[in-house]
Structure 1
């Protein structure tokens, strides 16, 4: 008898031609011992190299593969969303293509799922192939966002995880355009547990996440899950205004009592620059939130699918 449960495995691909075949082989080996039917949802996120051609070649060799070819590069968060929308599994695994996260952990994830957990995430206890600065800034980001956010996001946890059908259905109801998936995975709730592992260096190719993209990602994550920066801007404005009022009162009294020669140009410039900096910072924070509102108000679709490839060549 065929297994009745279905496992969906989602992998976003963007210019990953160097790792695709090894990734497919590792995943195929990992699921051999799993007593479940398997579908592999490979999302091509606007790749410019041979990624799509290689995926089609692999699909012709393995009928479990389904390729979702997006109309352009929408970004990893949206590519994962497209895969989650298409996944039919009782359990759904999201994993990156670069094999830094070992597919072999899927077996342990399924065991934890059968024990009653709706979300089983992989937590890194070691991050090989990453320099000190990247590790330090990542640690600082999670400390900051968990300090100011109402929902705790596990540290040293990426997108590699298993979710139950119930958790996926809940996540698919959240259609915000600016998507910080690590936060959304945590926000939906449901029983969650961690599996620890050592993260390997990237198998081949180069990451699409440079420092500019990581900073942008961090800002979006913070502004998506907490209003605390707005409150901080308000506090800073109140404190500086109070200080300015006190300083102004001091100079008025001093001038009335003792007079004042024309001097203090450096002090004046320092004060002007300080208050200008506070104002610009506050405007920038406000702009981030207004930008989110602007994007959400347009209600554009999250993505467009150019074509769906299966062995039966169904569109």
Structure 2
């Protein structure tokens, strides 16, 4: 896909990115139409266009996020959940949110970063905060009436949906979570997981390919890099992947960063890379999200890539 710089600026502006355009670049430019934005979103990885039928089917796709509480240290990572919901909304999916009706492993004081002694909370009740009250017990979920499932991260995935935070590779997965993963997998329906949540797929689905980012901490940028080794020990394949967006300019690859926007030019070919890994065989899509210590908008973009791929797979 090729576009002039002004159209690129319009697209990026919608994502909160400012691009300085030259007068020549904007001459004769008109705001992007809804059709143009629809076409761009249809392209999933921006540079790769799926079948035309994919986007047309998105409006009827029923997608279900599975939450694990409310709060990064003892439940769902709120930014990841919100990003998933935003991208599902943009993709036209019909959303129903689920969570298991079980007690949290513990309650963390998010200011002190320590357990709150004597306090207990329920995963379903806490998840309802994110769902604005519209939430269903995971026990009632079957894959028959839904097209895709997505699991955001947060320590709740490792504490409430499983015992990974305590037991590592010998962990147990919540029985309903395990059932849902197996049902969707056996039905050939896509599953998306981000941040620490891919360990659930690694534990339940033998031989699955997932990513939790890099395998070295790299000076603290990837503080949970050791998770990759546990994933491999479970028999899954770990695919090293970052949380960045690369642009291709006139056949030469270059990286967009806030401090080095690249040479000014009127024509671009855009591809999103290093954002989400797709296991085509198992229809499992994963992205590192907050496994990486990076800017929030990069997390949002990576989750967007994951959601787009899940919707593409669900529409096939």
TM-score by length of 2: 0.25
Larger relative contact order (Cα-Cα within 8 Å, sequence gap ≥ 6): 1
Q: TM-score, normalised by structure 1?
A: 0.25
